[in-house]
Amino acid sequence: ALPSKVRIIDVGPRDGLQNEKQIVPPEVKIGLIERLERAGLREIEVTSFVSPKWVPQMADNAQVMAGLVRKPGVRYSVLVPNMKGFEAALAAQPDEIVVFASASEAFSQKNINCSIAESIERFAPVVEAARAEGIAVRGAMSCTVGCPYEGEVAPAQVAHLAGLLKQVGVQRVDVADTIGVGTPLRVQRAIEAALKHFDVDDVSGHFHDTYGQGVSNTYAALQLGVWNFQSSVAGLGGCPYAKGATGNVATEDVVYLLHGLGIETGIDLERLVDAAEYISGFLQRPSNSRTGTAIARQ
Ligand code: HMG
Ligand code: MG
């Protein structure tokens, strides 16, 4: 049986906007986050405490965090690559930090400028410090299906990375198809690899929609009992170090799928489309969500 409820983390403000060419001011990011809250999102990935030289779009991380009016019951998460990022993040008091590693060596080098093993060494003290502060720790695993530099990625590489993250105290993991090349069976193999080390309640699906497979891959993950997902309102985004990859699967498309399956999300689709229209209006381009576009036309 499929799960009866699903929890979605909207990563639009972070994954969605990190690759944006035009400057998105902190007020607009905050406006987007407020609309996501109004739509019923209870987890939002707000920003990244990474080097502003590497990802200029996230340079306003502290301002965005400080400008938020925190809603009770909403979990605000931020990406952290190292101790320097953690110290800056700590001042902003996130509910959860996300360390991010890659199942492929080449992507690890391009994205965070170190090997997989070195990244784990960097994360260990970060995870320890976060947990000592009572901050939850998630681990994003990139390139669990394919890598822009190495091609196909084997499930064994995913299992290996999941084991390393578990060892350093990461509490839950995201199985990410960074470049959106996955199809249902390959995504299921990657998830099963993560499930060797993490409980199904602690594994989430993070699918980019480059090849239009994000909704199918979500369904494939549901069949394995996965009930946590990351997606971006309006299908925003892409990773600056994964050239050619498009945004995450749109939250609207995932919610439409889930509601059609009778799965509870707590999300109001009409209000979610309002959030999508807000950010698409600012960016002056149409939403990437098929569902959102269909609803907006009615
Ligand atoms: P590095 O150049 O090797 O770092 O970058 P370093 O330690 O040698 O430091 C170099 C300079 O950066 C120093 O400054 C540091 O202070 C500074 P300088 O002395 O030259 O003035 N620095 C920092 N500044 C602010 N915040 C920090 C920080 N750390 C060092 N945390 C580093 C290594 C990891 C910092 C860099 O590679 C980086 O920031 N990478 C981030 C890349 C990124 O954000 N990628 C996108 C997110 S991942 C993603 O999108 C995938 C995901 O969605 C899942 C999926 O779909 O796969 C999560
Ligand atoms: Mg991503």
What average pLDDT does the structure give for the chain?
Answer: 97
CB atoms within 10 A of CB 179: 23
Which atom of ligand 1 lies closest to the CA of 82?
Answer: 31
How far is Cα 45 from Cα 141, in angstroms, rounded to an integer?
15
Which pLDDT tens digit goes with each residue over 144-195?
999 999 999 999 999 999 999 999 999 999 999 999 999 999 999 999 999 9
What is the DSSP-derived secondary structure letter of residue 71? P
Q: Assess contact for 219 and 183: CB atoms under 8 A.
A: no
117 backbone dihedrals φ, ψ, rounded to 5°: -60, -45
Work out whether strand 75-79 and strand 203-207 pair parallel, antiparallel, or are unpaired. unpaired
Cα of 108 vs centre of ligand 1, distance in Å, is 11
What is the Cα–Cα distance from 278 to 32, expressed in whole angstroms?
A: 7
Q: What is the DSSP letter of 298?
A: -
User: What is residue 237's predicted lDDT score, i.e. its pLDDT?
Assistant: 85
Among all bound ligands, the one having the nearest atom to the CA of 115 is 1
What is the number of the ligand 1 atom nearest to the C-alpha of 85? 31
Q: Which residues pair with 231 in a beta bridge?
A: 10
The per-residue pLDDT for range 113-154, each reduced to its tens digit, is 999 999 999 999 999 999 999 999 999 999 999 999 999 999
Report the pLDDT value the prediction gives residue 295, as an integer from 0 to 100.
Answer: 94
Please give the Cα distance from 170 to 275 (Å, whole number). Answer: 31
Tokens for 79, please give them: 């990406």
Q: Which ligand is nearest to the CA of 18?
A: 1
- Helices and strands in the chain, H and E counts: 11, 10
Catalytic residue positions?
239
Predicted confidence band of residue 250 (pLDDT cuts 50, 70, 90)? very high
pLDDT digits (tens, 9 = 90+) for 225-234: 999 999 999 9
292 has pLDDT over 90 = yes
In percent, how much of the chain has pLDDT > 70?
100
Tell me the two tokens of residue 258: 């889930």
Minimum mean pLDDT among 86-90, 114-118, 234-238, 292-296: which range?
A: 234-238
Pocket of ligand 1 (CB under 6 A): 15, 18, 48-51, 54-55, 79, 81-82, 84-85, 100, 111-113, 140, 142, 176, 178, 206, 208, 239, 241
On the 0-12 / 13-18 / 19+ scale of CB atoms within 10 A, 38 is middle
Average pLDDT of the segment spanning 221-241? 93
Global pTM reads 0.98
Contact assessment for residue 211 and residue 228, using Cβ atoms and an 8 Å cutoff: no
Cα–chain center distance at 47? 11
